[in-house]
Amino acid sequence: MKTRTLFTGFLLGVLGLFSCGDNKTTTQTTLNATTEMQTIDLNNLLYTTPTINDALPDFVEKTDTCAFFHEDEWRQVEFISKNQRELIDKEVEKIKDIVENQSVKGESQVGYKSVAVRDLITQPLSVEFSKLTSYLTTKPIMLHGLGFDNNPGQVKGGFYFNLNGVNYYGVLDNNQVKVLGIYSAESEQDLKTATGKLSELLAEEKLYLVDWRAMRVFDETNIKTELVK
């Protein structure tokens, strides 16, 4: 499944454009145009994102029609219970340290010498699926499975759906949503239009929407004015 991606201060670098992961090797030998051997010190290469989530979800054999994205996008923009605000703040501080002290600015983009691995919030939320989606729409939702690029399986309990141009994904366990994120939007206006319903969801279920890379925490009030400016 293909999806258009919204590049704003809110959704940065999605659709698997980057593949930094959290692994580095030390050197790599390549051939230039004249087949002359060159050795590159990979320690001088930079990460393209300041943060990734610690753990990936479980996978099962692929049986559904799936939407796919790169594993580095896992839980980059996600909903988190308000009772975990202290942990959110601690993770933001880790990312802030990377951005302020480990970033290297190039002509067209910023790279990072290190990456903040988020490992404090293992269960972002727990909300019954139909209750959660009732805040977003009264119409039936077409669900797809969820997969990662270069992985033959699909996420166990994973789901993906589009509502009015905004693409959501998450993980279900016994009809309880344990992970819920926004992957992308088809236009800035679609995202802006969704803020009213998202505000209701945040207020009623006592949630934040956190954009980790931008280090932004949205509640039911500021999401209406700051999610899309």
**What secondary structure, in 3-state letters, does 120-159 show?**
CCCCCCCEEHHHHHHCCCCCCCCCEEEEECCCCCEECCEE
Q: Please state the pTM of the whole predicted model.
A: 0.83
Judge whether 166 and 194 are in contact, CB under 8 Å.
yes
Q: How far apart are the first and last CA of the chain?
A: 29
Model confidence over 8-57: pLDDT tens digits?
344 433 332 222 333 333 333 334 444 455 554 556 688 899 999 999 99
For range 179-188, the mean pLDDT: 95
User: How many residues does the structure list for the chain?
Assistant: 229
pLDDT score recorded for residue 39: 56
Contacts of 107 (CB under 8 A, 6+ apart): none
pLDDT > 90: percent of the chain: 76
| Neighbour tally for 64: CB within 10 Å | 16
Model confidence over 123-141: pLDDT tens digits?
999 999 999 999 999 999 9
Evaluate if residue 173 carries a pLDDT over 70: yes
Q: How far is CA 78 from CA 42, 172, 183, in A?
A: 31, 15, 9
Closest by CA position to 148, among listed 58, 36, 34 = 58
Judge whether 198 and 163 are in contact, CB under 8 Å.
no
For range 89-107, the mean pLDDT: 95
- Residue that the structure tokens 């972002």 belong to: 124
Judge whether 149 and 142 are in contact, CB under 8 Å.
no
pLDDT score recorded for residue 107: 81
